[in-house]
Amino acid sequence: MCEAENHTNSVKEDSQQRRSFLKLATASMFGFGLSPLGSVHATSGVIESPPLPDNVLSPEAALERLMKGNERYVSGQSIPLNFSDERLDLMRGQNPYACVLSCSDSRVSPEFCFDEQRGHLFVARVAGNYLTTDFIATLEYATAVLHAPLIMVLGHEKCGAIQAAIDATDNNEQFPGHIQSIATALTPAVRAVPRKPDYVAANRYDDIVRMNVILTVRELRKQPPILSRLVDSMKLKVVGGVYQLETGTVRLVA
C-alpha cells in the first residue's frame, strides 16, 4: 500500500514539475511578466538565472558596446578570456546582448573581433552570411525569447562565397554538390551591382560584399512576424558591417 502511495505521489510531483516547466517556458517565450532575476525550483534545488543580464541594454547601447569591443581588438587591447570564472554562471542560462549573422570563414571570428566572452554573443554562421528560414528562426529565438536587442550582419573582405556567386552569375560557372546553392543564394547581391566598362573588378567585388550585407539587413528589418514588429517598436536594431582582414576593423555599412 505504501509503495502504491509513494508511486502515486511521485507521478503527481513529476506531473506538477512538467506543468511548472511548461508554464515557465511559455511565459518566457511570450514575455509574460517574469523577472530576469527570478528563480526556478527544480528537483535538485533552486536554479537561479544569470545574476546580471547583459541584454538589458537599449539597441543603441548594445551597438556601442559591440563596436568598442572591435576597437579594443584592433588596438591589441582585448580583455583576456577567463573561462573558469564564468562556467557556473553560463550553466544557469544565457543573456546575449547581440546576435551576429556571420560568414563561416575561419579568418573571421565574431567573439574575437568584438572582444567578447562566452554568453555575450548569439552567433549564427554560414558561408556568405545570407538568410535562410533556419537562420531567421534562429534570430527570432535570440531576439524574442532571449531578448537580444541587436542583430549585426557581418560580411568580410575576400569572401570566397561571394566570388563563387560572381563566377556563377557572370560566367555561368557550376559548382559541385550543394556548393551551387550558396552561389545561387548570393545572386541578388551580384545582380544589384552590374558590370560596367570602367568598373575595376576588385572594386565591384568589394561593392558586392557590401551589397550582400545591405540586402540581408533590409530583409531582416522587414521580416514578419517577429523581427519587423521588434524593429518597428524600437526594441531591436539591425545593422550591417564588413570585417577588414588586414586590420580587423569592422566598418558599418548599413
Residue 36, preceding peptide bond in cis (omega within 30° of 0) = no
pLDDT in tens, 197-206: 888 999 999 9
What's the pLDDT band for 11 if we cut at 50, 70, 90?
A: very low
Overall average pLDDT of the 246-254 stretch = 98
What's the pLDDT band for 193 if we cut at 50, 70, 90?
A: very high
Rg (C-alpha) for the chain, rounded Å, is 22
Give the pLDDT score at 45: 36
pTM for the model: 0.79
pLDDT in tens, 132-149: 999 999 999 999 999 999
Give the pLDDT score at 99: 98
Residue 168 pLDDT greater than 80, yes or no: yes
The three state secondary structure string of 191-240 is HCCCCCCCCCHHHHHHHHHHHHHHHHHHHHHCCCCHHHHHHHCCCCEEEE
90, 119 contact by CB (below 8 A)? yes
Residue 211 pLDDT greater than 60, yes or no: yes
β-strands 237-243, 250-252: how paired?
antiparallel
Give the pLDDT score at 53: 63
Say what angle helices 160-171 and 201-221 make with each other, to 10 degrees.
Answer: 100
- The cell 531591436 sits on which residue? 236
DSSP at 250: E
- Residue scoring higher pLDDT (222 or 7): 222
Residue 92 pLDDT greater than 90, yes or no: no
pLDDT in tens, 25-73: 333 433 333 333 233 323 333 334 443 467 789 999 999 999 999 999 9
